[in-house]
Amino acid sequence: MNVPVFIEIGFEEQSEELRSYFKSLGAEISLERAEDKREDVRQIISVCDACFKLEADSEIEGVLNGIVSMIPGLADTDKEELVLSFCEKLSKASGQQHGMVALKVLWSLFMCLDDDSKMKFHVYYFLVKVAGETHELSTVYKDMATVKQMFQKCPPTDEQMQKLYRLLHEMLLLNGRSDDAARVMIELLGTYTTENASQAKEDAQRCIVASLADPNTFLMDHLLILKPVKALEGQPIHQLLKIFVSEQLESYVKFYEKNQAFVDGLGLKHQDSLRKMRLLSFMQIAENRSEIPLAELGQTLDIGDNEIEEFLIDVIKTRLVRAKISQGDGVVYVSSTMHRTFSPSDWNHLYNLLQGWKTNLNTVKDHLSTIAATQVELMHERS
């Protein structure tokens, strides 16, 4: 986004023009300026949404940017209430036809504030909300590292960051960025300590439900080590997560039969959960087997003969499993599969493999150095 360049005009003149303009739109505002700047701007902001009745986005943007140009002239102690009020007015337009205008004006306001202004965070919060609701989130959000760097000069409080994480999670899901949403939720849960983890139960449950509901999220064992998730141990939501992390389809079916009202109350769709559990169960079966009879899969995963091929095609499309279907042999040939969980023994195995790889590389390097040195000696002898 580009930052607008405002026309040089005095504060008083700008106020008079805006008052007259909003009055012409039918807003209830006096043509007489208030005694002090703070009250003057407050009155103008209180009726600024009157311009949303206009059809031309360019005209609306110009008027609202006029208000933006007045804010830097206010005392710092006066800005917080007025900036928040202005942002609230703009955010209400995001679900209407002028959402993009609101987004541009918020960006102008964001860029007008000093980097060390605590108001910059509040404006960014509304930027995320409006950008998310207008499906333009990529214009204001890249990743969490960029966001944290943005507020280095005036770091937000933990509570403010938690509020932003929750909003980002919601908007990222709305914009189809489920992987980024999961990363943000993990960042949120990571802000809690052992001492206050119990306070994050609602966030932890929201994180679990989002992961279970997302059709593209299959690996969830990393959630179990988060302190707020551990605080849920013994509760149905934690039991359900453990089923999706490491158990088979049969366990989910039994859990659902006993806790149908609870699962449905979470907003999870049973058929979608069945699909995911079938896929996860297949991954677990394929971890140590390269050949699996179709009949066995159909029975284990409770899939009819006429549906098994379509299911396996869906599995292969996830790229979590590499396999080929042989209808003639009645077998699925598995070449590789992603592990559902990564235990300490798996990490040790990976460590040993990397250490062996490193040793082999060093051996190759030593051999090449020896060969190179020998060649150099031969060249010197011949010369």
Pairing status of strand 331-337 against strand 321-326: antiparallel
Considering the domain boundaries, does residue 98 fall inside one? yes
343 pLDDT tier (thresholds 50, 70, 90): low
Residues 6+ apart with CB under 8 A from 153: 115, 116
Higher pLDDT, 147 or 338: 147
State how far the Cα of 357 lies from the Cα of 141, in Å rounded to an integer: 39
Beta-bridge partner residues of 325: 332
Q: What average pLDDT is seen over the chain?
A: 85
Q: Are residues 355 and 321 located together in one domain of the fold?
A: no
208 pLDDT tier (thresholds 50, 70, 90): very high
Q: Do 118 and 85 touch, CB atoms closer than 8 A? A: no
State the pLDDT at residue 1: 43
In this prediction, residues 316-338 reach a mean pLDDT of 85
4 pLDDT tier (thresholds 50, 70, 90): very low
Q: Which of 28-42, 190-204, 263-277 has the highest mean pLDDT?
A: 263-277
Considering the domain boundaries, does residue 200 fall inside one? no
129 pLDDT tier (thresholds 50, 70, 90): very high
Q: Which residue type does 361 have? A: L
Sheet holding 321-326, edge to edge: 291-293, 331-337, 321-326
Considering the domain boundaries, does residue 144 fall inside one? no
Considering the domain boundaries, does residue 10 fall inside one? yes
In this prediction, residues 100-121 reach a mean pLDDT of 90
Q: Are residues 359 and 314 located together in one domain of the fold?
A: no
Q: Which stretch of 23-32, 157-166, 337-346, 359-368 has the lowest confidence by average pLDDT?
A: 337-346
- The CA–CA distances, whole Å, from 174 to 134, 204, 220, 250, 333 equal 10, 19, 21, 32, 38
Considering the domain boundaries, does residue 313 fall inside one? yes
Instruction: Provide the CATH number for the domain around residue 333.
Output: 1.10.10.10
CA dihedral 67, 113, 142, 97 (to 10 degrees): -10
Pairing status of strand 291-293 against strand 331-337: antiparallel
Considering the domain boundaries, does residue 160 fall inside one? no
Report the Cα 186 to chain-centroid distance in Å. 10
State the pLDDT at residue 76: 74
Q: Are residues 314 and 360 located together in one domain of the fold?
A: no
Neighbours of 25 (CB within 10 A): 14
State the pLDDT at residue 6: 40
Q: Which of 75-84, 141-150, 332-341 has the highest mean pLDDT?
A: 141-150
State how far the Cα of 197 lies from the Cα of 204, in Å rounded to an integer: 9
Reported as half-sphere exposure (CB side, CA atoms, 13 A), residue 344 has a value of 1
Asked whether residue 197 carries a pLDDT value surpassing 90, the answer given is no
Q: Which two tokens stand for residue 28?
A: 């209830």
State the pLDDT at residue 95: 56
Considering the domain boundaries, does residue 207 fall inside one? no
Higher pLDDT, 372 or 304: 304
State the pLDDT at residue 75: 76
Q: Are residues 9 and 90 located together in one domain of the fold?
A: yes
Asked whether residue 2 carries a pLDDT value surpassing 60, the answer given is no
Q: Are residues 8 and 61 located together in one domain of the fold?
A: yes
Q: Are residues 98 and 50 located together in one domain of the fold?
A: yes
Q: Are residues 302 and 355 located together in one domain of the fold?
A: no
Q: Counting Cβ atoms within 10 Å, is residue 102 exposed (0-12), middle (13-18) or buried (19+)?
A: buried
Domain that holds residue 66: 1-110+119-132
State the pLDDT at residue 125: 96
110 pLDDT tier (thresholds 50, 70, 90): very high
Q: Domain tally for the chain?
A: 3
Q: Are residues 18 and 92 located together in one domain of the fold?
A: yes
Secondary structure tally for the chain: helices H, strands E? 18, 3
Considering the domain boundaries, does residue 104 fall inside one? yes
Higher pLDDT, 60 or 377: 60
Q: Are residues 20 and 86 located together in one domain of the fold?
A: yes
